[in-house]
Amino acid sequence: MRWLLSIFGISSTNEKPNHHSNSNASFLEVSIHSDQIICNWKIRDESKSMIQRDFESTLFIRIKDISGDHSISSKIIQVSLNQNTVRTNLPLKSGKVLIDLGYKSGLDFMTLEYQVLDLGTKTVPITKDVNWFAKESEDIHEEMYKLATGGRPLGGSEMAHND
């Protein structure tokens, strides 16, 4: 219904995203302050009862890089059902970040609320290629062989005699 009211321009525009006027609605609000992510949330009473009964009263905040550059950065913070806020260091300085509030059901993560933060274009420092073999000895193979065998012949080609 709210989407219909928004089409006609009747709905309130001063509401925060994911924050509902219904006092029993769930929400997740995420803000950034001094390189920290601050998450505030509320969970419906029915959801709390189900999680307490079936999933050991454990909630999780999952922070995941979704920048699309094939990185797999993520952070998971375990919180209790009685908590409604958490503060943690920002794992990324740029890119898109997905913050989920949810619980685990077996191996699956069940999302209750989420928010996406756009921290700007992701910048990854470019590392110079290092030539690891630049200072390699000309006798490197012989040196490695002696290190591996402890100086004892093992019966390989070094035991062959030219007659």
pLDDT for 5 equals 43
Contacts of 144 (CB under 8 A, 6+ apart): none
**Which domains are seen in the chain, by residue range?**
2-118 (2.60.40.10)
Query: 69: pLDDT confidence band, cut at 50, 70 and 90?
Result: confident
| Run of H or E residues at 116 | strand 108-118
Mean pLDDT, residues 36-50 taken together: 91
For the chain, report the end-to-end CA distance as a whole number of angstroms: 97
Q: What is the pLDDT of residues 92-149, one digit of tens each?
A: 788 888 999 999 888 888 999 999 998 888 876 676 766 666 677 788 888 888 888 8
Q: What is the pLDDT of residue 7?
A: 46
More confident residue, 147 or 1: 147
pLDDT of residue 3 exceeding 90: no
